[in-house]
Amino acid sequence: MSAYQNVTQRARGGRVQPVVLSNHYRLIREIGRGAYGSVHLAADITVTPEEMCVVKMFQRREEVLKSAQVEYTTLSALKNHRGVVTLLGDLDLDDVYCLVLSRERMNLLTLAGKTEKGKLGTKAITKIVYDVCTTLEYIHSQNYIHRDIKPENLMLGSDLNATIQIKLIDFGVAKYFRKRFDITKRDNMYTNCFYSSGRMSAGMAATPRDDIVMMLFSVMKVQMEVMPLDRSNIERSRADRLLFETKWHRDHYHLPPNLYHLAASIFAGGPSFYPNYNAIKETIKKAYPRFDPSTDILRFDSQQNGTIIIS
């Protein structure tokens, strides 16, 4: 039985032997699955004590392997930044290709669901926006655009007892650009993505600024619970996103003050290739003046009942 068949049977509840890849990584449990393959919590058995990691398994299909190669190349180029998930290695097996990544704690949707109110407050959003904006500024300076910023791809660092660092994961659709391109360039790749910007929804190629807009939509989701954008069909969603980027200040969007000012700093001056990173970071820091996200400690404490208290 191949490694992928063994893993698939295990996921379906079949009786299988523990899966160890290349005498190096023991798979513990499946933690995610998609069209590309599956994601597993794993242990590096070559060190003592064993170290936890994540193994992302890609099926051997042309389009899937292309995405895997994009992610490998991008993470290799961005490996020196603390806001990017760490690439530990890769495995080229008979029936699957695997990326081995650092284990992070949980994504923002999971985090919001574990709080008492089911959503994140201003202090947590301040830290998240500051970290993500800082990381995106670095990624863009290396001529990469993430293109898939969403709550599921924004992770808490693995140690909840330390100063938290928000990390970006899933670079499978990242784009490298050699030089600044015309913002009217077409690209229909993300016309249906829930967190895509209005421009992307309208078929325009993603720019660094669009990563920041996707960050805004992501924090709107985890702070407001319900996105104030029409999702009834693709056309209405596209039109509503485009309208939001110029009419975000209207009362019917009900943006809380911190997100209202964040939107103002992002959309100031209209569409552009690069956002004003410094203005965005200064704006979000003013949202919670008693907390400096660049220096102060923010802790996420797990309680016995499973909830998380942010302090």
| Residue ranges of the binding site for ATP | 56
Please tell me the distance from the alpha carbon of residue 306 to that of residue 59, in angstroms, as a whole number.
Answer: 35
DSSP one-letter code for 144: E
170: left (phi over 0), alpha (psi -120 to 50) or beta: left
Query: Which residues are annotated as part of the binding site?
Result: 56
Tokens encoding 22: 């290349």
CB 264 within 8 A of CB 286: no
CB 45 within 8 A of CB 53: no
Please tell me the distance from the alpha carbon of residue 132 to that of residue 39, in angstroms, as a whole number.
Answer: 23
- 289 upstream amide cis, omega within 30 of 0: no
Please tell me the distance from the alpha carbon of residue 241 to that of residue 196, in angstroms, as a whole number.
Answer: 8
